[in-house]
Amino acid sequence: MSSKLDHYKIDPIAQTMTKAQASNNCEEGNKSMKELENKTAIITGGARGIGQAIALTLAKEEIKCVISDLDSSMAEVTAKEIASLTNTETVAVGCNVADSKSVSEMLKKVLDKFGSIDILINNAGITADSLLVRMKEEDWQKVIDVNLTGAFNCLQAVGKLMMKQRSGKIVNISSIIGLRGNAGQTNYAASKAGLIGLTKSAARELASRGVNVNAVCPGFIKTEMTDRLPEAVKSDLLAQIPLGRFGEPEDVARVVLFLVSPWAAYITGQIIVVDGGMVM
Q: Is 172 in the site for ligand NAP (CB under 6 A)?
A: no
Report the alpha-carbon distance of residue 206 to residue 167 in Å, rounded: 9
Which positions are catalytic? 188
Q: How far is CA 48 from each of CA 57, 76, 113, 230, 274, rounded to the nearest angstrom?
A: 13, 11, 23, 21, 19
Q: Is 123 in the site for ligand NAP (CB under 6 A)?
A: yes
Closest distance between ligand NAP and the C-beta of residue 69, in Å? Answer: 5
Q: Is 126 in the site for ligand NAP (CB under 6 A)?
A: yes
Closest distance between ligand NAP and the C-beta of residue 162, in Å? Answer: 20
Q: Is 47 in the site for ligand NAP (CB under 6 A)?
A: yes
Phi, then psi, of 84 in degrees rounded to 5: -75, -30
Closest distance between ligand NAP and the C-beta of residue 118, in Å? Answer: 20
Q: Is 70 in the site for ligand NAP (CB under 6 A)?
A: yes
Q: How many residues bind ligand NAP (CB under 6 A)?
A: 30
**34 vs 245 by CB, closer to ligand NAP:** 245
Which residues face 41 on adjacent strands? 65, 119
Q: Is 190 in the site for ligand NAP (CB under 6 A)?
A: no
**8 vs 170 by CB, closer to ligand NAP:** 170
Report the alpha-carbon distance of residue 37 to residue 31 in Å, rounded: 10
Q: Is 5 in the site for ligand NAP (CB under 6 A)?
A: no
Q: Is 226 in the site for ligand NAP (CB under 6 A)?
A: yes
Closest distance between ligand NAP and the C-beta of residue 253, in Å? Answer: 10
Q: Considering only residues 44, 86, 186, 261, which one is a binding residue for ligand NAP as defined by CB under 6 A?
A: 44
Q: Considering only residues 40, 43, 48, 88, which one is a binding residue for ligand NAP as defined by CB under 6 A?
A: 48
Q: Is 96 in the site for ligand NAP (CB under 6 A)?
A: yes
**264 vs 273 by CB, closer to ligand NAP:** 273
Residues 59 and 84: beta-carbon distance below 8 Å: no
**What would the 3-class secondary structure string for the chain be?**
CCCCCHHHHHCHHHHCCCHHHHHHHHHHHHHHHHCCCCCEEEEECCCCHHHHHHHHHHHHCCCEEEEEECCHHHHHHHHHHHHHHHCCCEEEEECCCCCHHHHHHHHHHHHHHHCCCCEEEECCCCCCCECHHHCCHHHHHHHHHHHHHHHHHHHHHHHHHHHHHCCEEEEEECCCHHHHCCCCEHHHHHHHHHHHHHHHHHHHHHHHHCEEEEEEEECCECCHHHHCCCHHHHHHHHHCCCCCCCECHHHHHHHHHHHHCHHHCCCCCCEEEECCCCCC
Closest distance between ligand NAP and the C-beta of residue 71, in Å? Answer: 3
Q: Is 50 in the site for ligand NAP (CB under 6 A)?
A: yes
Q: Is 150 in the site for ligand NAP (CB under 6 A)?
A: yes
**123 vs 212 by CB, closer to ligand NAP:** 123
* Contacting range for ligand NAP; rule: CB under 6 A; set: 58-66, 124-132, 161-169, 237-245: 124-132
The residues that touch ligand NAP, with contacts defined as CB under 6 A, are: 44-45, 47-51, 69-71, 74, 95-98, 123-126, 146, 150, 173, 175, 218, 220-221, 223-226
